[in-house]
């Protein structure tokens, strides 16, 4: 039974995304009167006197971008928290499987050879991100088992291969295409539309549902293979399911946003420090909420800090890296407990 203090902390984190979502609708370079925004949000049927451009900015530009930020933060933080428990290592996130390198290679391939086709870029990024996971898993699998150490080493090998391929593509592309590739690799939510949201949302929610339902199994798997098997858990099956759904979530997001780092690494660790438990029944839902908040606030900064839009991946790195160093010094190390 969770303590009263833990329930209070959890309630605060779970509720926070909703007021931040509303506040984010007021942020943007195009000035929309606050009363018009409130009318559009709370009286969507009775605001006929509001200019059409205001509705366009709020409903078709800002709102899908905000939802994509919330969904993206959820995907990255939940996948990171799941893999940290699975590998029993707080320095692991979804990119250790080579997903980001594979998606980056696929996007660069499409940008270089199929220009002016966003759907092809997204399809290539998703396909190669998923292929990279399958390669990592195949490399690590030996005699029907997939040891954690082999998965990490397989991820390093696959990442190196796709990174080399990406470098080769960048070397042979024109300056214009190279600029597009570099910007995509920095990560951005500028491509957000309702079509993009509907493309990403089902895969992320499906993956989150699987992880949420298996969160108690993650607790058992984090005890180690021998202990988990002794408790009757099918280690190989459950590990593959978690790896598969986290890869689907991250690949679906990376395909439309580019590479956004650090969220999956630091958010689950912040949650564990805040609630003082590694119980995934608590950590997974709270990581989902805090990750959504983190990416949404980072994107708010990215689109309002200067007169031009900054890549949100740059913001998450500038915030995440120093903050992770602070956590490292404060905790005296990040050993798994």
CATH number of 4-331: 1.10.3470.10
pLDDT of amino acid 10: 84
pLDDT class of 160 with cuts at 50, 70, 90: very high
Q: Is the pLDDT of residue 34 over 60?
A: yes
Residue pLDDT, tens place only, 292-302: 999 999 999 99
Higher model confidence: residue 324 or residue 125?
125
In sequence order, what are the residues at sequence separation of 6 or more whose Cβ sits closer than 8 angstroms to the Cβ of residue 314? 186, 187, 302
**What is the domain partition of the chain in residue ranges?**
4-331
Distance between CA atoms of residues 143 and 126, nearest Å: 29
Alpha-carbon dihedral angle through residues 86, 89, 90, 91, given to the nearest 10 degrees: -110
pLDDT of amino acid 292: 96
Is-contact 106 124, C-beta < 8 A? yes
CA 86 to the chain's CA centroid: 17
pLDDT of amino acid 210: 94
pLDDT class of 201 with cuts at 50, 70, 90: very high
Return the biggest CA–CA distance within the chain: 69
Q: Is the pLDDT of residue 46 over 60?
A: no
């Amino acid at each position: 039974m969770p303590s009263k203090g833990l329930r209070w902390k959890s309630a605060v984190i779970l509720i926070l995304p909703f007021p931040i979502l509303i506040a984010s609708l007021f942020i943007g370079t195009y000035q929309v009167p606050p009363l018009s925004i409130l009318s559009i949000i709370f009286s969507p049927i009775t605001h006929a006197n509001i200019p059409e451009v205001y509705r366009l900015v709020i409903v078709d530009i800002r709102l899908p971008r905000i939802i994509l930020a919330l969904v993206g933060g959820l995907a990255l933080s939940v996948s990171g928290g799941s893999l940290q428990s699975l590998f029993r290592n707080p320095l692991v996130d979804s990119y250790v499987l080579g997903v980001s390198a594979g998606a980056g290679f696929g996007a660069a391939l499409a940008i270089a050879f199929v220009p002016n086709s966003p759907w092809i870029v997204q399809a290539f990024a998703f396909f190669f991100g998923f292929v990279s996971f399958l390669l990592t898993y195949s490399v690590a699998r030996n005699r029907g088992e997939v040891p954690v150490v082999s998965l990490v080493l397989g991820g390093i090998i696959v990442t190196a291969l796709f990174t080399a391929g990406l470098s080769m593509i960048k070397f042979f592309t024109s300056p214009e295409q190279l600029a597009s590739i570099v910007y995509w690799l920095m990560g951005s939510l500028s491509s957000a539309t309702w079509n993009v949201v509907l493309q990403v949302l089902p895969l992320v929610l499906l993956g989150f549902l699987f992880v949420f339902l298996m969160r108690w199994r993650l607790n058992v798997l984090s005890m180690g293979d021998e202990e988990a098997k002794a408790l009757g858990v099918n280690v190989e099956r459950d590990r593959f399911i978690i790896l598969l759904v986290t890869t689907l979530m991250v690949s679906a997001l990376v395909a439309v946003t580019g590479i956004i780092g650090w969220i999956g690494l630091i958010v689950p660790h912040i949650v564990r420090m805040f609630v003082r438990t590694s119980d995934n029944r608590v950590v997974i839902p709270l990581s989902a909420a805090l990750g959504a908040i983190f990416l949404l606030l980072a994107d708010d900064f990215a689109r309002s800090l200067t007169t031009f839009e900054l890549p949100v991946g740059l913001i998450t790195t500038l915030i995440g890296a120093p903050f992770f160093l602070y956590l490292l010094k404060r905790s005296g190390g990040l050993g798994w407990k």
